[in-house]
Amino acid sequence: MPSYWFDSETVEFEYGGRTMSIETGRMAKQASGSVVVTYGETVVLVTAARATPREGIDFFPLTVDFVEKTSAAGKIPGGFFKREGRLSDREVLVSRFIDRAIRPLFEDGYRDETQVIATVLSADAENRADIPAFVGASAALMVSDLPFIGPISAIRVGRIDGKLSANPLHSEMAKSDLELVVAGNRDALVMVEGTAQEVPEPELLESLKYAHDQLRTSLDAQQELKDRVGKPKREAVAVTVPADLVSRVESMAKEKMSSAVRVTDKGERKAAISAVEKEVLNELVTEYRQEKVALDSLEAVEERRDGLRSIQKGAKSVLHDLQASLIRKRVVSEGTRIDGRATTDIRNIACELRVVPRAHGVGLFTRGETQALVYTTLGSSSDEQTIDALTERTSKNFYLHYNFPPFSVGEARFLRGPGRREVGHGNLAERALEPILPDRDDFPYTLRIVSEVLESNGSSSMATVCGATLSLLDAGVKIKAPVAGIAMGLIQEGSDVAILSDILGDEDHLGDMDFKVCGTHAGITALQMDIKIESVDWTVMEKALEQARAGRVHILECMASETAGELDSLKTRPELSRYAPRVEVINIKPDRIRDVIGPGGKIIRGIQDTTGAKIDIEDSGRVTVFSPDADALDRARSMVEELTQEAEIGKVYMGRVKRVVDFGCFVEIFPGTEGLIHISHLADGRVERVEDVCGEGDELLAKCIDIDPTGRIRLSRREALADTAS
């Protein structure tokens, strides 16, 4: 085999106190760019490929997939087909994070279909594959011929015992009160995803600065690899609109567009902008068609059609840019936003509880033109979600599902399964709420929250967080503190900066930064940030976080006042819904589990069939009894306790004689448990024969006087009679 097949280049660097290596030239060489990233025993192959260019594409068709192969962890997939299927939620979340970070870093005008695939080749239990996948995505694009403006990198930050840590091991994260996954370049951060245990804003900002400092070694290594083996970059030809067309469209539309973007109602504003666009396009088309041009050949006709399409496309681009420019300049210069609010104003908020009768808990949260109906459902441990991850199998007793039907934005389209956006928004809301849920020992339910977005014009994910808090309180879940979320925006024109609270959908699209902050009065529980410009000053970031805190507190106060008739200061209801299951937890010795289950599950099925209750048993001996009927719950609990009760020294029982022997008798004090009454303890005075006092089947009182280390029980009828007589 030719030696060039094995020609490769590798860079190594310290990342979070451990060595990470990036190798190129050995695997997947037909891709435009490919690298293998190794971190501990976790290995990820990342490829970047470009399809054959196609004419007429007016957007950038980028696809990013993060794929975990079970063979990488020495596992065989479950299921009938025994092969990997659709991406898991975790794979989708990592794919989205990489996609959102690298998408803005391609040269303007690049429109070729591009695909980045990160495939996990080996996975250990301590070094998660998402950070190597991100580093690999940037590195693969850097060494490729694709017009990528990099490098960029990502790092995970934890805080363990008050000390910040870069890329902590998976086992160490259990002790961390903070988890941030941060992406950035040399100048600034571009993306943040995070969860925290009510961390104050200044401490979070310190963590972000720490993350940015730690990124630099990875950026240096990628640049070194590109300098060694990077391919020449393809030229991306930006589509420009002729200057005379720009001038013509702006002169025709500027005044009318300025009025249209000042319409405060979303529907009316959309109609006004559409009317201006239609009027300008019709006038341009009319002018073009009135020009005297000889159409004496098929080529001339085609050229004429292409010219018309070019004018229409260029005019739409100019109108879009004009609309954005007018809105942005108005916000920065006047401090007035699209819907007439000031930069710090938050839209009107309305909250309702128990708006439908049968749900365990339900909250309807409305903020302006965004509305979420959020359900909380209580279930047993058998309702936990099993997560068959790459290196471990776990279960979740809390999960949140987010649904975004088309009617929420006035559209009509086919209903399909949740897309990547729905998975991402649901995960953000889930992470925001998880830190404030009660401990499982105090509240042994499985919790499922479902958000149905009924209207959307600006951050339905944050409405989901607020609505979920309401539904949890309505369900009687004793949360540690109420949580609210707010979506913030940023518009920067030169040195002028405007930070926007509670942004609209259009402000998200036209702004320079979109960040969502969730938390309690005490601090942040979740954060998501996308920065669309080259850099944001740290003082601006600090101000934005403080403005978000003020907005979050305002929303919590609105939620409290809106629900004051049913809840006291956002305190949970004192009782569960009458439709929610009741639960009691009994702890038994693990070696008594078989007594409850019985041969082939006969006994536990009998208890459930008799009482109608549901019983879950864990290997630790934790028995959870569920039932919406209090009487059924009591009966099931009593039956379990009777099967597993232990003898107590000093307690008197009414037992039944099971066997008579020369030295005494064996008495069953409760099902499955026997003790010995020695002949000397049958009665006061001397007993010659056991049969003089009792026989098999007789009932008699017996007091437990001793339990030896092997579990043998000694009983006394004599002492039991003395106790009852006194």
Q: How confident is the model at residue 301 (pLDDT cuts 50, 70, 90)?
A: low
Q: How confident is the model at residue 293 (pLDDT cuts 50, 70, 90)?
A: low
Q: Evaluate if residue 682 carries a pLDDT over 50.
A: yes
Q: Mark 556-573 as b/e (b = at least 16 C-beta within 10 Å).
A: bebbbebbeeebeebebb
- Percent of the chain's residues with pLDDT above 70: 98
Q: Evaluate if residue 15 carries a pLDDT over 70.
A: yes
pLDDT number for residue 5: 53
Radius of gyration of the chain (CA): 34
Segment holding 642, helix H or strand E: helix 630-644
Q: How confident is the model at residue 81 (pLDDT cuts 50, 70, 90)?
A: confident
Q: What are phi and psi of 181, to 5 degrees?
A: -110, 115
Please report, as a single letter, which amino acid is at residue 697: G
Both ends of the chain: CA-CA distance in Å? 99
Q: Average pLDDT, stretch 617-640?
A: 87
Q: Evaluate if residue 713 carries a pLDDT over 70.
A: yes
What are the structural domains of the chain?
3-229 (3.30.230.70), 243-334 (1.10.10.400), 349-562 (3.30.230.70), 582-644 (3.30.1370.10), 652-725 (2.40.50.140)
What is the three-class DSSP state of 675? strand
pLDDT number for residue 180: 96
Query: 175, 147 in Cβ contact below 8 A?
Result: no
pLDDT number for residue 417: 85
Residue whose C-alpha is closest to residue 670's, from 658, 659, 687:
658
pLDDT number for residue 706: 93
**176 pairs with which residues across the strands?**
160
Interacting residues of 174 by C-beta distance below 8 A, sequence separation 6+ = none
Q: What are phi and psi of 65, to 5 degrees?
A: -130, 130
Using CA atoms, how far apart are residues 222 and 244, in angstroms rounded to an integer?
43
Q: Average pLDDT, stretch 628-635?
A: 85
Q: Evaluate if residue 666 carries a pLDDT over 70.
A: yes
Using CA atoms, how far apart are residues 562 and 558, in angstroms rounded to an integer?
6
- Percent of the chain's residues with pLDDT above 90: 61
Q: Evaluate if residue 306 carries a pLDDT over 80.
A: no
* Cα diameter, the chain: 135
| Mean pLDDT across the chain | 90
Interacting residues of 293 by C-beta distance below 8 A, sequence separation 6+ = 300, 304
Please report, as a single letter, which amino acid is at residue 630: A
Q: Average pLDDT, stretch 8-31?
A: 94
Q: Evaluate if residue 159 carries a pLDDT over 90.
A: yes
Query: What's the whole-model pTM score?
Result: 0.87
Q: Which residue has the tokens 């339905």?
A: 460
Q: What tokens does 553 get?
A: 């507190």
Interacting residues of 387 by C-beta distance below 8 A, sequence separation 6+ = 393, 394, 395, 396
Q: How confident is the model at residue 709 (pLDDT cuts 50, 70, 90)?
A: confident
Using CA atoms, how far apart are residues 234 and 440, in angstroms rounded to an integer?
56
Q: What tokens does 659 get?
A: 């066997």
pLDDT number for residue 1: 41
Q: Evaluate if residue 3 carries a pLDDT over 60.
A: no
Q: How confident is the model at residue 175 (pLDDT cuts 50, 70, 90)?
A: very high
Q: Evaluate if residue 4 carries a pLDDT over 60.
A: no
Q: What are phi and psi of 698, to 5 degrees?
A: -70, 145
Please report, as a single letter, which amino acid is at residue 625: V
Using CA atoms, how far apart are residues 576 and 578, in angstroms rounded to an integer?
6
Least confident of 367-371, 488-492, 627-631: 627-631
Segment holding 433, helix H or strand E: helix 420-433
Q: Evaluate if residue 539 carries a pLDDT over 80.
A: yes
pLDDT number for residue 531: 86
